[in-house]
Amino acid sequence: MNAYDFTFCNQRLSALPSGALWWPARRLLCVSDLHLCKSDRVARRSGQMLPPYETAETLARLSADVARTDPATVVCLGDSFDDLNAALSISDKDAETIATLQAGRDWIWIVGNHDPGPVEFAGSHLGEYSALVLTFRHIAGAGPDISGHYHPKHGIPGAGAARPCFMFDESRLILPAYGAYTGGLHATDPVIARLFGPKPCAILTGRKAICVPVRPSGLRARSGRSRGNRP
């Protein structure tokens, strides 16, 4: 497998090239920011009719990861649905796919800012979830924890466009957005960088998970907001 294995809080974890996190000791698969049914919400809110296939695509990727790892527990780390209305509009076929994935496993929906309440699916709906020494929540809090929300992305200089990435140091692990229609925030953006110590690493997703150190560089941030010009 093209995964990258690393140690976080004394646990051996595996960053899959798809953007999912695999914890072999607990047979736990974790994905973040699926943003299912995003096209429906966009159409409802702005009238823009995006290709309505992102839910099927995201679930197809998740199905592949589930088939490969056969997890006992699946943790969806928040923003699983683009909003609570969208969760209602999911097609029968996509709902069936979710039910199939859930069969025979513990399924944990962590609430996110996009889906702040319980959704109409089986599984536990939790604000956060802890197992052994690891805490899973949507937005990074008092660490150490594993979270999502920021959609980090990073690129190796001279090697093409930035890719969604994991980011971690000794006290924090942030997952990339797993959903098909999700953008990203540069790993060097101060909004993300300030959550980490001076030496975080990024694990790039893609054909193969590749780990690189992230050099702090506030000036390269291009978040479109005014903070970019501060070091």
Partner 1 sequence: MDLPPLFHDWFAQRGWSVHPHQQAMLDRADAPALLLIAPTGGGKTLAGFLPTLAELADGGHAGLHTLYVSPLKALAADIKRNLGTPIEEMGLPIRVEDRTGDTSATAKKRQRADPPHILLTTPESLALLTSYEDAPRIFAGLQRIVVDEIHALAESKRGDQLMLALSRLQALCPDLRRVGLSATVEDPGAIARGLACHPDPCEILYADPGPAADISMLVTDERPPWAGGNARYSIPAVLEQVKQHKTTLIFHNTRAQAEIFFHNLWLANDTDLPIGIHHGSLDRDQRMKVEAAMVRGDLRAIVCTGSLDLGIDWGDVDLVIQIGAPKNVKRLIQRIGRANHRYNAPSKALLVPANRFEVVECVAALEAARENDLDGDPKGPGPRDVLCQHILIRACAGPFDADALYAEVRTVGAYADLTRAEFDDCLEFCATGGYALQAYDRWKRLLSRDGLWQLRDPRASRDIRMNIGTIQDTDTLKVRLKGAYKPLGEIEEGFAAQLTQGDTFLIGGEIVRYEGLREVSVEVTRRADKPPKIATFAGTKFATSTQLSQRILRMFQQDRWPELPAHTAEWLHLQREISHMPQADRILVESFPHDGRAHTCFYGFAGRNAQQTLGLLLTKRMEEEGLDPLGFVSTDYATLVWGLQPVPDPAPLFDEAAMRDGFADWLAGNAVMKRTFRASATIAGLIQRNLPQARKSGRQATFSSDILYDTLSKYDPDHLMLQITREEALRGLVDFGRIEELLTRTAGRVDHVTLTRPTPLAAPLLLEAGRIPVAGAGRERLMEETAARLMQDAGIADL
For partner 1, the binding residues (CB under 8 A) are 6-7, 39-40, 43-44, 46-54, 56-57, 91, 150-151, 156, 158-160, 177, 180-185, 189, 199, 201, 207-208, 210-213, 217, 219-226, 228-231
Please report the beta strands in 133-206, taking only residues with DSSP state E, as ranges in sequence order.
134-137, 145-147, 152-154, 163-168, 172-174, 185-186, 201-204
Give min distance, CB of 217 to partner 1, in A.
7
* Residue with Cβ nearer partner 1 (67 or 161): 161
Give min distance, CB of 141 to partner 1, in A.
19
Between the CA of residue 170 and those of 62, 106, 149, what are the distances in Å?
A: 27, 28, 19
Give min distance, CB of 105 to partner 1, in A.
27
Please report the beta strands in 9-105, taking only residues with DSSP state E, as ranges in sequence order.
11-15, 21-23, 28-31, 73-76
Give min distance, CB of 52 to partner 1, in A.
3
* Residue with Cβ nearer partner 1 (74 or 195): 195
Of 212, 220, 137, 158, give the one whose Cα is nearest residue 185. 220
* Residue with Cβ nearer partner 1 (74 or 98): 98
18 vs 27: CA distance, rounded Å: 17
* Residue with Cβ nearer partner 1 (42 or 76): 42
Give min distance, CB of 206 to partner 1, in A.
9
**Given the DSSP bridges, would you call strands 201-204 and 210-213 parallel, antiparallel or unpaired?**
antiparallel
Cβ–Cβ contacts within 10 Å for residue 219, how many?
A: 12
Which two three-digit tokens encode residue 2? Answer: 């093209």
* Residue with Cβ nearer partner 1 (89 or 135): 89
